[in-house]
Amino acid sequence: MTVEWSTSPPPLVLRVDRDAPDLLRDQLQDALRDAIRDGRLVRGERLPSSRALAGELGVARGVVTECYAQLQAEGYLRSQRGSATWVGDAGLPTAEAALPSVEVPPLRVDLRPGLPDLSSFPRADWARCLRDAVRDAPDAVLGYPDGAGVPELREVLAGYLRRVRNAHARASEVVVCAGFAQGLHLVLQALVARGLTTLAVEDPGDRDSHAVAAGLGIRVVPVPVDADGIVVEALGEAGAVLVTPAHQSPTGVLLSARRRQELVAWARERDAAILEDDYDAEFRYGDEPVGALQGLAPDRVVLLGSVSKSLAPGLRLGWVVCPPELVRSVADGKALADRGSPVLDQLALAWMVRSGRYDRHLRRMRVRYAQRRAVLVGALREHAPGVRVGGLAAGFHVVATLPPGVSEEEVIAAARERSVGLYPMSGYRTSSVAAGPQLVLGYGNVRTPAVADAILRVADLLG
């Protein structure tokens, strides 16, 4: 990648020794050649002007001019009259020159689950909220923050979660983190310090959480999921359980009211913790809103959420609503991990939620995702009638159950040859129990016309 500087390039770290027998010009030539050969200066990078470099090194400008002229003749540098001097092609590191070009055919349509529509990120709203945050932030806020997060965002998130998710949330119980994965790590770390050794997880479910738990020395126990959600009687002796009640990932089932009560009763009886991943809660279609499980038992449930699906994963902003006895441990862990999430981004998110722009964006995206969902389901019903579609109540993926005997692996490989990315349910399973072939089809980051195009291209493969 070419390095370009919008104004003057930064200083070069070059040295010349006036006591050495070599001419200053020759020393400078050798130093620049070495910098280009070992990759410290890359092709297309702009060098300081001869006047600027001479001033930095304390040498005559003519020394730099002669050096540049010689290296241009050798191909190490290039320039145009009236323009700057740039690094040329000669002398590039051998490793870079020898790298083989790997041809990876691009996918025409990638139905990868879990990605929101990145092109719809509300750039103008975010820029305005960030500008307002920068303008109004007191100087003191720009110091090292509390690991729990800035008070403004914690207050806004607590109010939002009470209103929209029926959570039992107070600002003092909210910890801001860098997305769900970090929040999960911080909570598990705090629970391990209290004696946690075993974590139950949904099967099928998010496999990344297994790695987070294993990294802390926690034994992971997969628990089956049925049409009502996680099977509570299979939880056994686990000290905590991770669940996705609003839209089970990836099957899409809703944790039923009966199972919610059973799960809370299990946690109280076992003195266990429930970790609630508020997955896909923002995007429900047609059904009545579903409250957070945390609202039923705030003393037992840790609620984890983020803006990775509602805005964009790249923001790296999320939150944990903790029972009071866990707050300080989680906040201290966050402070030790990275000194706290970026303050201005936290303030910008607070502005966005408080101003109503966040809700406006969610309303717009619900309509867009619902349209894509309808197109996907319609295309499957028309062109692949043997496929049963489920998991439609929320989020931006569906589960396509293929006819018996169809191979997930073969379908996926054949679809990739047609430039369509498909993803198997087996990638979410932990147990080796035989299950029918299924695909998890995401439509969040795919344009609506491309959704129909993808199904047309692969319909005959689906059985």
pLDDT in tens, 445-459: 999 999 999 999 999
Structure tokens belonging to residue 392: 């439609």
pLDDT in tens, 323-345: 999 999 999 999 999 999 999 99
Q: What is the predicted pLDDT for the residue at 98?
A: 45
With bands split at pLDDT 50, 70 and 90, how would you rate the model's confidence at 94? Answer: very low
- Between 28-37, 339-348, 366-375, the lowest mean confidence (pLDDT) is in 28-37
Q: Ranked by mean pLDDT, which of 53-57, 94-98, 169-173, 430-434 comes out on top?
A: 169-173
Q: What is the mean pLDDT of the chain?
A: 91
Question: Does residue 104 surpass a pLDDT of 70?
Answer: no
Report whether CATH 3.40.50.1110 matches the domain 24-98: no
Asked if the bond preceding 151 is cis, omega within 30° of 0, the reply is: no
Which long-range contacts (C-beta less than 8 Å, at least 24 apart) are formed by 353-360?
353/156, 353/157, 353/160, 354/156, 355/129, 357/122, 357/125, 357/129, 358/310, 358/311
| Same-fold call for 24-98 versus 122-357 | no
Distance CA 317, CA 308 (A): 7
Q: Give yes or no for a contact between 281 and 248, defined as CB atoms under 8 angstroms apart.
A: no
Nearest partner of 307 among 282, 339, 337, judged by Cα = 282
Topology of domain 122-357, CATH: Aspartate Aminotransferase; domain 2 (3.40.640)
DSSP 294: G
Sign of CA dihedral 160, 163, 166, 171: positive
Q: Which CATH superfamily is domain 109-116+360-461 in?
A: Aspartate Aminotransferase, domain 1 (3.90.1150.10)
pLDDT in tens, 118-170: 999 999 999 999 999 999 999 999 999 899 999 999 999 999 999 999 999 99
Q: How far is CA 369 from CA 111, 117, 283, 287, 386, in A?
A: 13, 9, 8, 15, 24
With bands split at pLDDT 50, 70 and 90, how would you rate the model's confidence at 93? Answer: low
pLDDT in tens, 222-242: 999 999 999 999 999 999 999
CB proximity list for 245: less than 8 A, separation 6 or greater? 229, 254, 255, 260, 276, 290, 292, 293
**Whole-angstrom distance between the N-terminal and C-terminal Cα of the chain?**
44
Domains in the chain: boundaries: 24-98, 109-116+360-461, 122-357
